[in-house]
């Protein structure tokens, strides 16, 4: 595969997010720093940088299947992407966004439980993919990414690192759900087996 396995950027990404969370009272209270560290351990393999955007997209991507984060940015003069490049390109919000995807990735069992819970409330059979909060695949094959990208951005916003240009509408929906159910419940939705907040999905479905 094209790209560089970039250990330095991976470490910088982890340090940045842990620092932000350590300074954030509500994040620490709802998730706990040990939960965050455990999820990073379990859900992040490698960070691959220096992938030309034309290959797979812009910005970054968290890949559920191999647990890698791909960053479509390259270093100066064909060199490996460095921390300085990241600062220069104002890409810290991008790194935070992709790591939040990894942290909030649900396992198979959690996805199945969530899917059952959705059925209980909405009588709609959905397949829930391993991802932040959820990617919901409807019977007709359409993918509801609202809770995935919107929730990720919303969480980044709580950490002061929301990329204001991405998924604007989806993020706004999550802000509206927050108004309806409160910050704590919205946050708990991302954490393991808190399915009470499944009712919030009706805002998005």
How many helices, marked H, and strands, marked E, lie in the chain?
10, 7
User: Least Å distance between CB 150 and Zn ion?
Assistant: 10
Kindly tell me which of 85 and 149 has the beta carbon lying closer to Zn ion.
Answer: 149
Kindly tell me which of 102 and 117 has the beta carbon lying closer to Zn ion.
Answer: 102
Kindly tell me which of 115 and 171 has the beta carbon lying closer to Zn ion.
Answer: 171
Region of 39-47, 121-129, 142-150, 171-179 interacting with Zn ion (CB under 5 A):
142-150
Token reading at 5: 């396995």
Region of 38-46, 110-118, 135-143, 146-154 interacting with Zn ion (CB under 5 A):
146-154
User: Least Å distance between CB 114 and Zn ion?
Assistant: 19
Region of 37-45, 84-92, 143-151, 157-165 interacting with Zn ion (CB under 5 A):
143-151
The alpha carbon of residue 16 and the mean position of all alpha carbons in its chain are separated, in whole angstroms, by 15
Region of 47-55, 84-92, 112-120, 149-157 interacting with Zn ion (CB under 5 A):
149-157
Q: Are 4 and 50 in contact (CB under 8 A)?
A: yes
Q: Residues binding Zn ion: what is the number (CB under 5 A)? A: 1
C-alpha–C-alpha distance, residues 16 and 18, integer Å: 6
Kindly tell me which of 126 and 148 has the beta carbon lying closer to Zn ion.
Answer: 148
If you write DSSP's letter for every residue of 24-78 in order, what string do you get? -HHHHHHH-HHHHHHHHHHH---EEE---HHHH-SSEEE-TTT--EEE----GGG
Token reading at 73: 């940015």
User: Least Å distance between CB 121 and Zn ion?
Assistant: 26
User: Least Å distance between CB 108 and Zn ion?
Assistant: 21
User: Least Å distance between CB 116 and Zn ion?
Assistant: 26
3-state secondary structure 156-198: HHHCCCCCCCCCHHHHHHHHHHHHHHCHHHHHHCCCCCCHHHH
- Give the binding site for Zn ion (CB under 5 A): 149
């Amino acid at each position: 595969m094209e790209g560089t396995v970039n250990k330095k950027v991976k470490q910088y990404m982890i340090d940045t997010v842990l620092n932000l969370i350590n300074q954030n009272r509500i994040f620490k209270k709802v998730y706990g720093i040990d939960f965050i560290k455990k999820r990073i351990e379990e859900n992040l393999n490698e960070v691959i940088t220096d992938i030309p955007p034309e290959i797979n997209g812009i910005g970054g991507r968290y890949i559920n299947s191999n647990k890698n984060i791909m960053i479509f940015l390259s270093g100066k003069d064909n060199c490996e992407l460095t921390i300085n490049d990241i600062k220069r390109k104002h890409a810290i919000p991008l790194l935070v966004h992709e790591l939040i995807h990894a942290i909030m990735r649900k396992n198979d069992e959690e996805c199945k439980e969530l899917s059952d819970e959705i059925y209980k409330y909405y009588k709609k059979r959905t397949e829930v993919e391993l991802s932040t909060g959820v990617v919901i695949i409807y019977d007709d094959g359409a993918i509801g990414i609202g809770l995935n990208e919107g929730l990720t951005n919303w969480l980044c916003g709580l950490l002061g690192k929301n990329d204001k240009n991405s998924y604007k509408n989806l993020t706004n929906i999550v802000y509206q759900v927050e108004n309806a159910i409160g910050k704590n419940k919205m946050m708990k939705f991302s954490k393991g087996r808190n399915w009470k907040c499944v009712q919030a999905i009706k805002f998005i479905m």
